[in-house]
Amino acid sequence: MRFLSGTAALISRMNWLIGQIFSWLSLGIVLVCFVVVVLRYLFATSFVWLQDLYIWLNGAMFTAVAGFALLKDDHVRVDIFYRPARIRTRALVDLVGVVFFLLPFTWIVYAYSLPFVLRSWSYFEGSANVGGMAGLYILKSFIIAFAVLLALQGIAMLCRSILVLGGRVDLVPPSMAYPVKPADAAAEAIEGVH
């Protein structure tokens, strides 16, 4: 059980760090977009590579922070039943969701994107726009990073679910702990789950 806790903590720390770093790209996106608008409307000039840059930064940021968003539980979810559920129920829902939906999805994304990414690297693909940025192959690599980071965070969620369902809530890393409501605490005290 401690191995599961350590694995979940390590993966979560890695995704947290990546999320903290790549979240700063949003500032870069805003600045580059501002420069593009100023150049275009005040100076009547434009650079295709600069327009490519803010689109590419956007793509890199959103694919790199997917695991971080899953860690922070910031993905869109219809949680009419999930949010009010007890911790054990949420752990079971997460376990089923990760095993039957998230991990197969990330495998499909990885398996189908890998040939395209490798082909892009084989000839150092650049922008399709004349005067655009070189290095599209680097951006395409973020598709692989997206699948891997999301799958890893799914594995961390799986570890958390197993810990909770195994009655070892105390071993769940604090960064991944389910929010505890008074009803959860009372139910756990009655069941002796702590």
Q: How far apart (Å, rounded) are the C-alpha atoms in residues 129 and 135?
A: 12
Beta carbons within 8 Å of 69's beta carbon, 6+ residues apart? 19, 75
Higher pLDDT, 183 or 27: 27
Q: How far apart (Å, rounded) are the C-alpha atoms in residues 44 and 192?
A: 70
Q: How far apart (Å, rounded) are the C-alpha atoms in residues 55 and 40?
A: 16
Higher pLDDT, 160 or 127: 160
Cα–Cα distances in angstroms (integers) from residue 27 to residues 17, 23, 94, in the given order: 17, 8, 33
What pLDDT, on the 0 to 100 scale, is given for residue 68?
A: 95
> What type of residue is 74?
D
What average pLDDT does this structure show over 136-162? 96
Q: How far apart (Å, rounded) are the C-alpha atoms in residues 152 and 160?
A: 12
> What type of residue is 116?
F
Going by C-alpha positions, the residue among 77, 57, 152 that lies closest to residue 110 is 152
- Per-residue confidence band for 16, with pLDDT thresholds at 50, 70 and 90: very high
What are 16's two structure tokens? 């947290």
Q: How far apart (Å, rounded) are the C-alpha atoms in residues 194 and 186?
A: 11
What pLDDT, on the 0 to 100 scale, is given for residue 193?
A: 52
3 state SS of 13: helix
Contact (CB, 8 A) for 157 and 90: no
